[in-house]
Structure 1
Amino acid sequence: MSVTIPGVAAAVSPAASVSTRSTVRTVPGFRPEIEGLRAVAVVLVAVYHVWFGRVSGGVDVFLLLTGFLITGSLVRSLERDGRVAFVAFWSRLARRLTPAALTVLAATLVATFLWLPSPRWSDILREVRAAALYHENWALAAASVDYLAREAGPSPVQHFWSLSIQGQFYVVWPLLLALTAMVAARVRLPLRTALLTVAATVLAVSLGYSVWITGTSQAWAYFDSGARAWELALGAVLALAVTRVRLPAAVRVPMGWAGLAALVACGAVLPVATLFPGYVALVPTGAAVLVILAGTTGSAFGADRLLTWRPLMRLGSLSYAFYLWHWPVLVCYLHLTGRSLADPAGGSLVLGLSLVLAWLTSRLVEGGVQGLTRAPSRSTPAWSLGVAAAFLVPVLVASAAWSAHIAEEQRVRAEQAAAEVSEPARYPGALVLSDERSVHPVPNLPVLPDPADARADVSSHHADGCHVSLTSTELVVCERGPDDAERTLAMVGASRTAHWYPAVATAAARQGWRLVSFTKSGCQFSADVPMRDGAVFTECQEWDALAMEELERLRPDAVLTSSTRAAPGGERVPPGFVERWSQLEELGIDVVGLRDLPRRDYAGAECVESRSPGECTSPVSYSQAPADPAARADLPGNVRVFDLTEYVCPEGACDAVIGNMLVFWDRTHMTATYARTLAPMMEEGLLEATGW
């Protein structure tokens, strides 16, 4: 399929084309310094990932280069043929890009099965499909605002987010340019002027949106196609304008070096991961613009002498495959070694192995596809799409079948677990730590919930939508118990308040109380200005205000909430907590403060899945103070506090398994299965604190 633009080809006659070449440098199909720039960008990406755990800005260069090269190609097609052959364009891209990408995804599936922990399998499989279908950036954007997903280990395919944005650009940009060319021909506007106007408009609108959304929700903005489109549009503007730029070599030589220096320094100087992609991303993209404008200077002292160095250009030709391989290799290395960053030797191994795999992919996969489709009869769009499908379909089928198998296994285990946990003698959980323990010693049995299912082991409070996400401002109020109950208890706070819900609900039911609950991820019940990712957490502010309005309307007898915040930096009672409790005192509402549980230096489910439970432990002192700060603080008269740490982290240690039950599914949250066994202790604590 192609669209011919009437008047466009005629507007660029052979004579005009010759005249143009004599006065203006056209955008060539191949610029050697760009291969070198690709190499520098991919090395920065990999080195910063491997040894520094930081983002370099190199990916932003890739996005700009995509806009630059694709726009140049499309404009030449429009000027030469007066049309965009959409099917041919997309099929060529599919033939070039998908074989290598899907080979890496297939290898990642194998590596996931062999080396990565089963609690992460479902998420990885979901992301593999998203990566294969070029919407991984949106999957990561959704995960970035899922508070309960933030502590999950890194996905081995999360680097596909940038490739997804590029893939979406490949679909939209030819359509936009063809439409622009059609309009330009009808109104007799010069083609390049029309295209430059449209590209500049996209640049301005997207950059404005990017600045706004980055300040509002940076974690989401980082993966948002709309917030990244300006980087591609900047490349497009450069492609359309570079032919008109005339700079002397005396200017271009220092310009090239300035661009390289700014690009190399960007990741070291700027906290890219927390500031991008707003206006700060103009640093690496602006640096790339300087290098491209400098071009090939012919000077012995120009940056292009480095960028056109043959080994660097060869690495540039492997940059796509190298980028694809470096991240899954790094993720597997870090998991197998238990490290958070690579040491010098390990990092060199990761980079060396990635380079070898990139070379093999280039020779065997990309080279094989080129050989297969070299014959004229096999260079058609149908053949190209067929080749892409031959790589795509097996990855989608394998990941979908594996996901279905996991879901069925989880269903079976859930049924078995429901029967097992009803027998306290076999699965007592926290009861082994109470005076009412039903059996001693506890028999040695498989842990419940199974580590592979632990992330899904949440209470009905979550399942019923009573706990809202980071981005939500809605107050979802859930109620249990008789409407005419003598006592009403409200449960309010963040996720580390919500994970007590199974114990609180059981205690309330036993006492005949009415239980009202509303909680929000990452949002403390506090009068302090909430912050997240360096910016005001406005969604929390709005939600917290609604929570106070609801409590004023409900007038419960007491509010159960967290009384402290425990973190590796120390445990404290935030001033905003006390201020909020004073406001409740004015309303005649009592407060029951429950001490925050210690955080752990290990992820519960993943640790138990890969090591023996005895190796999965963390000292209480890692994040808790020696004594409860709330018990010693000057609190309003309506506040009573209590502490159940001894039933979750007994004798100063937070073990991953107690009474054959998995206690923690990540570093900060309890499993609902274990929380239910805390009901007797919770009931006793509530009765003592409230005096009911």
Structure 2
Amino acid sequence: MSGFLMSSILLRNYFKYGIYSPLSFWSNITRKVFPVAYVVIGTTLIFSYFYASPSLLLSIINEAIAAILHAENLQLIRNSIDYLASGTSPSPVQQFWALSLQMQFYLLLPVVIIPLAVLSHKLKSSRPLYYGVVSILLISFLISVYMSYADASASYFHPMTRLWEFFWGVGVYLIIVNLSFNRFNSFYCIVGVVLIFGGAFFIPKSFAYPGYIALVPVLGASLIIISGVKSQSGFNSLLSAKWLVYLGGISFSIYLWHWPVLYFYKNIFNLDYISVVHGVIIISSSICLAIFTKYLIEFPVSLLPKNNIYINFLLGTIFFLPVAFGAYLLRLELTSISQSMYSKWHSYAAPHQVLEPLEINNDPSSIPRNEFIGARKVVPVTYRIDCHQSIDGVEARECRFGSLGSEKKVMLVGGSHAAQWLPALKNIAVVNEFELISVTKSSCPLGVIKDANDSCVSWNKNAVKLIEEISPVAVITNSTRTTSATEYIPDGYLNIWKSLFSSNIKVIGIRDNPRFSYDVPDCVYKNKDPVSDGPCVKSRAASLLDKDPSIAYSELIASIDMSDWLCSTTHCPTVNDGMLMYRDANHIHLPYVKYLTASLESKLMPLLNDQTH
């Protein structure tokens, strides 16, 4: 629809009036989009500060800034490859990914379409325009099909996978102005409606999207456009009913408002499920806000001179500056808080005594708000010094800690669930005078698991090669892998253990921790009542097997089971002794790792000192 409308404006102005002014085009877009968009973003930021979970605030602000700059789709792509950002809940500005795509298209369209039109005009042939549009459409479509399977999470938001949809609209306009569609218009309209609603209800979520399956709604929208251009009869006239036209006129505002309304409605009332009644309230509220926006924002703006480029850009700037400046100040505040939490917990002195096995002491009421704000940013130092390998990297990067230069070398190798133990192991290395070599990578344990990406396979080969070169006293890694429902030992782990055993390298495995199906800091903040079996507490049986399964492979691996300090005999809490135990849905919070230092040392050192293989 955007491609159709915007190309019709540009091409009609050029061919009919000889007008080509990208600045005029962009200024009119600014006038139309900026006031409403920035009012929604500004309102969302205010509500987020007071009603969003503090643990998610910084990611919300980052996405809001991206939305302000019309790059929310690119921010979501970045989040999809940023391991520390992955797993975060959807933000209340996430709907701006679509508007960001539109704005990127609007920036590109005059630069592409008018030169093609000028060339066609000079050659007195429409071929350059048609061939150019079709070429862009086909290239983007092929990229979309490929990326939808190669990188589904990024392809959904990527400009190149969506560009063909916009240029399809350009193509529809070119077809309409050159062909007559006076017959079968009602039929086109009916088929178009069926394709759109049929696609919405019957295309499985498992299908790679946008890809080729996006042709279904795109074809549907095309048929509806074609059916209504030169006639308003039959079924098409139903879509021209006054109330539908009115809703269409405020649909832009409805779309921008509906998502923050849904987000805060669920947050304020702590809902996981939206019933029909709740849905009606949310939709009605979104429509009401859109109506208010129309009369309080859009109508006053419409009274200003329409074709003055300077006024249009000035108007956009007036709405842009306060929202952008406010978001920037909020980000400064939250970043400062996160940094202070990082410094606080990295300098935290852990208790020296071995702790008693955990008993449920799930009282989060004493945890300050700033602790939640900084939780996700309090990570092992390797993330800060570019030593922890990224999701796509293949190099086995190493960092050394503890007693540097010691002949006794111990390696910590694996994914983030191995890396999370680094803060405790660093202190243990200093006290016990061994050199600790950290070699870790996001989303990639030592031992290739099912569905691992190619970079993980390559990294594993490089990590094993490095281990064999260093020939440490022992390699510390994970011995099991948990999901939100079970625990198991992947075949890839066994293969690595056997390989290292054959190289006479000792392997010490730390049992994996429970994983949760929700963001733990978010859940804890929303449920501060000190209960032993609340919504943020998980059954131990639903997290871990009765016994550490790696014990069955004692000839290959020495096992460390820390589960008695993560769970009681029956439940796995998320708060213990006034401390937040997890920084997200599945990683142990750094201060709690340090809290367990002496307990981990009591398990580790006998294994390191044992010379038997």
Structure 2 length normalisation: TM-score?
A: 0.91
Which residue is equivalent to 1:404?
332
The 5 A counterparts of 1:460-471 are 460-471=381-392
Q: Which residue of 1 aligns with 2:494?
A: 578
Q: 1:265 to 1:551 in 2, by over 3 A?
A: farther
Aligned match of 2:202: 269
* 2:165 counterpart residue number: 231
Cα gap change, 1:86/1:496 in structure 2, threshold over 3 Å: closer, same or farther?
same
Query: CA shift at 1:432, angstroms?
Result: 4.9
Give the whole-Å Cα distance in 1 for the aligned partners of 2:578 and 2:355: 10
What amino acid is the match of 1:206? S
Which one-letter code corresponds to 1:642 in the other structure?
I
What corresponds to 1:497 in structure 2?
418
TM-aligned CA deviation for residue 132 of structure 1 = 1.3
Q: Which residue of 1 aligns with 2:376?
A: 455
Which residue matches 2:555? 637
Alignment of 1:307-346 (within 5 A): 307-346=239-278
Task: State the partner residue of 1:88.
Answer: 24
State the Cα distance separating 1:248 from its structure 2 match. 6.4
Residue number in structure 1 paired with 2:288: 356
Which of residues 34, 39, 43 in structure 2 aligns to 1:103?
39
Question: For the structure 1 residues 244 and 312, does the alpha-carbon distance in structure 2 shift closer, same or farther, using more than 3 Å as the test?
Answer: same
Write out aligned runs for 1:268-287 (5 A). Answer: 268-272=201-205, 275-287=208-220
Decide whether the 8 Å contact of 1:566 with 1:596 is kept in 2: yes
Partner of 1:199: 133
In the alignment, residue 356 of structure 2 is paired with which amino acid?
Answer: L
Tell whether the 8 Å contact from 1:141 to 1:223 is kept in structure 2 after alignment: yes
CA distance in 2, matches of 1:83, 1:300: 34
Aligned to 2:393: 472
Amino acid at match of 1:400: Y
Partner of 1:534: none
Q: For residue 289 of structure 1, what is the amino acid of its counterpart? A: S
- Give matches, 1:582-597, under 5 Å: 582-597=498-513
After the TM superposition, which segments of 4 or more aligned residues of structure 1 sit over 6 Å from their partners?
none
Deviation of residue 168 (structure 1)?
1.0
Give a deviation string over 1:608-639, Cα, whole Å, max 9, x none: 3333262542222232222222224xx37321
Task: Summarize the Cα distance change of 1:137–1:201 in structure 2 as closer, same or farther, 3 Å threshold.
Answer: same
Residues 120-158 of structure 1 show CA distances to partners (whole Å, capped at 9, x for unaligned) of 222212221211111111111101112222222211001
Cα pair 2:68 2:320 within 8 Å, conserved: yes
Following the alignment from structure 1 to structure 2, what is the Cα–Cα distance between the partners of residues 216 and 545? Answer: 23
1:293 Cα offset (Å): 3.1
| 1:272-311 Cα shifts (integer Å, max 9, x gaps) | 5862122222222122223223336868653x13322222
Distance 2:426 2:346 in 1: 18
The one-letter amino acid paired with 2:603 is G
What secondary structure, in the 3-state scheme, does the structure 2 residue paired with 1:492 have? strand
Task: State the partner residue of 1:566.
Answer: 482
**Alignment correspondent of 2:575:** 657
CA distance change for structure 1 residues 244 and 636 in 2, over 3 Å: closer, same or farther? farther
For 1:449 and 1:460, the matched residues in 2 are separated by 20
Equivalent of residue 457 in structure 2, options 537, 541, 555: 541
Which residue in 2 is equivalent to 1:209?
143
Residue equivalent to 2:69: 133
Q: Which residue of 2 aligns with 1:517?
A: 438
User: Of 376, 390, 399, which residue of structure 1 is paired with 2:318?
Assistant: 390
In 2, are the aligned partners of 1:614 and 1:655 still within 8 Å (CA)?
no
Inter-partner Cα distance in structure 2 for 1:557 and 1:290: 70
Label 1:402 to 1:481 Cα distance change in 2 as closer, same or farther (>3 A).
closer
Moved more, 646-655 or 321-330: 646-655
The residue type equivalent to 2:371 in the other structure is D
Matches of 1:75 and 1:353 in 2, distance apart?
Answer: 38
Q: Does the 8 A contact of 2:337 with 2:374 survive in 1?
A: no
Please, which runs of 5 or more residues in structure 2 have no aligned partner? none
Judged with a 3 Å threshold, the aligned counterparts in structure 2 of structure 1 residues 423 and 513 are, in CA distance, closer, same or farther, namely closer
Query: Residue 611 of structure 1 aligns with which residue?
Result: 527
Cα–Cα, structure 1 residues 136 and 101, in superposed 2: closer, same or farther, change >3 Å?
Answer: same
Distance in 2 (alpha carbons) for counterparts of 1:148 and 1:511:
31
State the 1:415 CA deviation.
Answer: 5.7
Could you tell me how far apart the structure 2 residues matched to 1:227 and 1:101 are? 24
Aligned-partner Cα distance in 1 for 2:499–2:84: 30
Residues 656 and 397 (structure 1 numbering): CA distance in 2 closer, same or farther, change over 3 Å?
same
1:552 is aligned, of 462, 468, 476, to 468
Q: Do 1:530 and 1:540's aligned partners in 2 also have CA atoms closer than 8 Å?
A: no
Cα shift at 1:97: 0.9
User: Distance in 1 between the 2:408 and 2:204 partners?
Assistant: 50
Q: Identity rate of aligned residues, in percent? A: 27
Q: Kindly indicate whether the alpha-carbon contact (under 8 Å) linking 2:345 and 2:590 is maintained by their aligned counterparts in 1.
A: no
The normalised TM-score by structure 1 is 0.81
1:177 equivalenced with 2:113 (yes/no): yes
Structure 1 regions of 5+ residues with no counterpart?
Answer: 1-64, 532-536
Contact 2:476 2:508 in 1 (8 A): yes
**Cα distance change on mapping 1:469 and 1:343 into 2, 3 Å:** farther
Match of 2:356 in 1: 433
Equivalent pairs counted in the alignment come to: 604
CA contact (8 A) 2:181 2:230 kept: no
**Alpha carbons 1:218, 1:274 under 8 Å: kept:** no
Answer whether contact 1:589 1:638 (CA < 8 A) is retained. Answer: no
Q: Is this contact kept in 1: 2:199–2:216, CA < 8 A?
A: yes
What letter corresponds to residue 329 of structure 2 in structure 1?
A
Paired residue secondary structure (1:559): strand
